[in-house]
């Protein structure tokens, strides 16, 4: 008995190595065997990743089984140990999955492909789970046969095949696999559907798995059509900083379209899925937000915040602490706390600068001005958002005179010094992007 992999048109970008996520169970054992006996795929540098969660007493034996199987197939195998957090707030099953995918993502270089052994029965379970969580078309599309993952791609070549066909293949080829006893438990939602709900449904509707897989395919088509319009609306709201949107175009959208655009935005930024409460916050704030405050919404270590006519999304970062202070001679880049750096291009001999956080009350004399301005007012006039101000380093001389605020505002004398020596000061903040619109100083 053979399994013919569905014809897949790989993008040209998928030119790298082929990895297999291998647990040692039935499904991944079949996938590994099929790929190892497909010369064209084996020639791509087939290799195996086994994630050792350490959650079961037999975990070491399972890893040894995977190593032995790969040795017989002459396929390199890496066993990678992870610690699964027990207090993630997402449930233990989701935490283990997250740890596993973090390992996979960390192994992929540009063009690499990770193959996983999800099949049609898994797809049916996923559709039911998503329906019970009140998902829309994107969620009901469930698992995709091919999608980006970190620097590479995730491929599910068995997604259209029923598990019964995989079992028949394993028996026909005398494969040996691991039976994880936790799969028989019903505490986890997916296991409850797999072991109780779907078997009951099959007694009445034998084609339930195929029907649910068709639901996923139809919803994927719907999602793809909607995404085209989402991307157009997202493009209309973008600024030069991908993590910042203009509120005007968002406010003009119908609420349903706005919700999709916000979720699409955070997806493109590779952030955790935006929860419904975040969308509700955005909608309420767009309709009733006040310009004299900076409302925020936090989720999964990330933050949405509105300022003036802008909406920003990004990881929650501690501000540049008031205690931070470093001496700098400008010769080598200065790495700042929480990421980012300050760099001077061009020679700087005999300088002794201090780099510190803003402390309040600083003043700076701008080029062409007869008197100094409060740095706070300069930054406000430049339209520097609070998420940039929170990380902004101040460059000062030995007399504590402010020379520069990042690379956004320069003292007149310091600016002349930069120009006279063909020098440039660059500030790279955490996240590697800052965008400040041009604005006059009042």
In this prediction, residue 412 carries a pLDDT of 95
Q: What distance in Å separates the CA atoms of residue 410 and residue 396, rounded to the nearest whole number?
A: 11
**Distance separating alpha carbons of residues 137 and 153, to the nearest angstrom:** 22
Q: Are 152 and 110 in contact (CB under 8 A)?
A: yes
Please answer whether residues 143 and 156 qualify as being in contact, where contact means their C-beta atoms are separated by less than 8 angstroms: yes
Neighbours of 226 (CB within 10 A): 17
Least Cα distance to 33 among 78, 71, 73, 67 occurs for 73
- Residues spanned by CATH 1.20.59.20 within the chain? 238-315
Q: Does residue 231 contact residue 211 with C-beta atoms inside 8 Å?
A: no
List the one residue out of 339, 295, 333 whose CA is nearest residue 317.
339
Return the pLDDT at 22. 97
The model carries a pTM of 0.78
How would DSSP label each residue in 83-97?
A: ---S-SSS-HHHHHH
CB crowding 47-76: b at 16 or more within 10 Å, else e = bbbbbebeeeeeeeebbebbeebbeebebe
Q: What is the CATH code of the structural domain delimited by 18-216? A: 3.40.50.620
CB-CB neighbours of 401 under 10 Å = 16
The answer to whether the annotation marks 21 as part of a ligand binding site is: no
- CB-based contact 304:311 (threshold 8 Å): yes
CATH code for the structural domain at 238-315: 1.20.59.20
Q: Give the pLDDT score at 91.
A: 67
pLDDT of residue 285: 77
> Which candidate, 39, 21, 13, places its Cα nearest to that of 112?
13
pLDDT on residue 19: 97
Decide the pairing of beta strands 393-396 and 373-374. Answer: unpaired
State residue 125 phi and psi, 5-degree precision.
-60, -40
Distance (Å, rounded) from C-alpha 42 to C-alpha 158?
Answer: 17
pLDDT at 197 (0 to 100)? 96
Say how far apart CA 211 and CA 190 lie, in whole Å: 18
Is 152 marked as binding a ligand? no
pLDDT at 435: 54
24 is in an annotated binding site: yes
Q: Are strands 393-396 and 353-357 parallel, antiparallel or unpaired?
A: antiparallel
C-alpha span between 205 and 248 (Å, rounded) = 50
pLDDT along the chain (442 residues), means of 10: 72 86 96 94 93 87 96 96 74 81 93 96 96 92 93 94 96 94 82 94 96 96 95 96 94 94 94 91 76 78 92 92 90 90 89 91 90 93 92 93 95 94 92 51 38
Instruction: Give the integer Cα–Cα distance in Å for 355 and 341.
Output: 11
88 annotated among ligand-binding-site residues: no
Strand partners, 306: 311
**Which contacts qualify for 316-321: CB closer than 8 Å, 24 or more apart?**
317/390, 317/391, 317/430, 317/431, 319/357, 319/390, 319/391, 320/357, 320/358, 320/390, 320/391, 320/392, 320/393, 321/357
The pLDDT of residue 100 is 92
Please tell me the distance from the alpha carbon of residue 434 to that of residue 419, in angstroms, as a whole number.
22
């Amino acid at each position: 008995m053979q399994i013919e992999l569905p014809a897949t048109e790989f993008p040209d970008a998928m030119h790298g190595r082929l990895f297999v996520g291998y647990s040692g169970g039935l499904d991944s054992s079949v996938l590994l065997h099929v790929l190892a006996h497909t010369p064209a795929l084996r020639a791509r540098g087939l290799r195996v990743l086994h994630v050792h969660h350490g959650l079961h007493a037999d975990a070491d034996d399972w890893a040894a089984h995977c190593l032995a199987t790969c040795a017989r197939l002459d396929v390199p195998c890496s066993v990678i140990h992870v610690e699964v957090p027990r207090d993630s707030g997402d449930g233990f099953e989701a935490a283990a999955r997250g740890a596993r995918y973090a390992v996979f993502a960390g192994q992929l270089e540009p063009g690499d492909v990770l193959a996983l052994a999800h099949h049609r029965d898994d797809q049916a379970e996923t559709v039911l789970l998503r329906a019970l969580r009140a998902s829309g078309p994107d969620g009901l599309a469930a698992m995709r046969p091919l999608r980006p993952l970190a620097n590479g791609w995730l491929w599910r070549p068995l997604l259209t095949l029923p598990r019964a066909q995989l079992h028949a293949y394993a028996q026909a080829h005398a494969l040996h696999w691991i039976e994880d006893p936790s799969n028989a438990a019903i505490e986890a939602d997916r296991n409850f559907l797999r072991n109780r709900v779907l078997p009951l449904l099959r007694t009445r509707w034998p084609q339930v798995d195929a029907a649910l897989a068709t639901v996923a395919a139809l919803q994927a088509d719907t999602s793809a059509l909607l995404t085209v319009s989402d991307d157009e609306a997202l493009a209309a709201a973008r600024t030069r900083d991908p993590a910042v949107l203009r509120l005007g175009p968002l406010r003009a959208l119908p609420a349903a379209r706005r919700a999709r655009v916000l979720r699409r935005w955070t997806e493109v930024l590779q952030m955790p899925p935006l929860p419904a409460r975040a969308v509700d916050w955005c909608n309420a704030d767009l309709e009733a937000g006040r310009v004299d405050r900076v409302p925020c919404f936090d989720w999964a270590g990330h933050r949405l915040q509105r300022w003036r006519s802008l909406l920003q999304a990004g990881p929650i970062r501690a501000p540049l602490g008031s205690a931070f202070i470093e001496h700098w001679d400008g010769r080598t880049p200065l790495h700042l706390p929480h990421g980012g750096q300050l760099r001077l291009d061009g020679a700087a001999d005999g300088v002794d600068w201090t780099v510190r956080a803003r402390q309040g009350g600083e003043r700076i004399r701008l080029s062409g001005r007869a008197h100094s301005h409060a740095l706070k007012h300069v930054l406000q006039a430049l339209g520097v958002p609070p998420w940039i101000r929170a990380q902004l380093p101040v460059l000062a001389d030995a007399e504590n005179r402010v020379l520069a605020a990042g690379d956004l505002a320069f003292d007149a004398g310091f600016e002349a010094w930069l120009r006279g020596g063909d020098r440039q000061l660059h500030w790279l903040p955490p996240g590697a992007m800052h965008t400040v619109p041009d604005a006059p100083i009042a």
